[in-house]
Amino acid sequence: MKRVLRRTAKVLLYTILSLIGSVGLYLLAAWGLSRIAVEKEAAAEEVEIYLLSNGVHSDIVVPAYNDIRDWRTKVPVTNTTGKDSSANYLAFGWGDKGFYLETPTWNDLKFSTAFKAAFALSSSAMHATYYHHMNTGDDCKRMMISREQYVRLVAFIDKSFKQDADGRFIYIPTNANYGSSDAFYDANKRYHLFHTCNTWTNNALKSCGQLACLWTPFDKGIFYQYNKHP
């Protein structure tokens, strides 16, 4: 009996130490790789975009419409509760569908939702939010990119959405909206520990030749680069 207890205790101890070690390695990799910059491409300053964060989750903000893309045709304001067509900007954020639709606040977070998200066991969604104005600051960085770079960013965002046979983004009817100017859509790929909402934003920046981290799961990693290179 004592031997069984000792073996059980050892297995439990090794399991706990392994979990702690794995978490430590993950956080160390997140910190280290976020400090390695992917440099910005030299290009003309023709289209205004923004990098936005709510302190945990980051978005890419683009013009609601210009001669390259009128996003209102793909992300209709009629899918928002406010139905306001006068907004000038549109923010895109990719993430776990369960987090978006079932976790309005951190107090509502369920273990099952977090577990599924961490290990790619649920689907993903795109969150699109219209804004009238953008206010730059610690949580909102403005950048100017070329028209060619913006075309690449548009293509990256397009590929992140699931689309029907006619190429339309697939709207998710829900009462889980954050406000009167946002809507949710089905997205491609799955959220997991190594591909988070902030990894998506970081990859969006890479797609259009902007300053980015080599890799990061956290918004702090991206903003570290933008605070270091204002």
Please state the domain extents for the chain: 1-34, 38-228
Q: Which amino acid is at 221?
A: G
pLDDT digits (tens, 9 = 90+) for 57-105: 999 999 999 999 999 999 999 999 999 999 999 999 999 998 888 875 6
Residue 169 neighbours by CB under 8 Å, 6+ apart: 74, 75, 126, 161, 162, 163, 185, 186
Residues in the chain, how many?
A: 230
CB 3 within 8 A of CB 170: no
CB 117 within 8 A of CB 192: yes
Cβ of 168: how many Cβ atoms within 10 Å? 14
pLDDT digits (tens, 9 = 90+) for 98-125: 888 887 565 565 656 666 656 656 899 9
What whole-number distance in Å separates Cα of residue 189 and Cα of residue 161?
Answer: 9
pLDDT digits (tens, 9 = 90+) for 187-203: 999 999 999 999 999 99
Residue 70 backbone phi and psi in degrees, to 5: -100, 100
CB 217 within 8 A of CB 196: yes
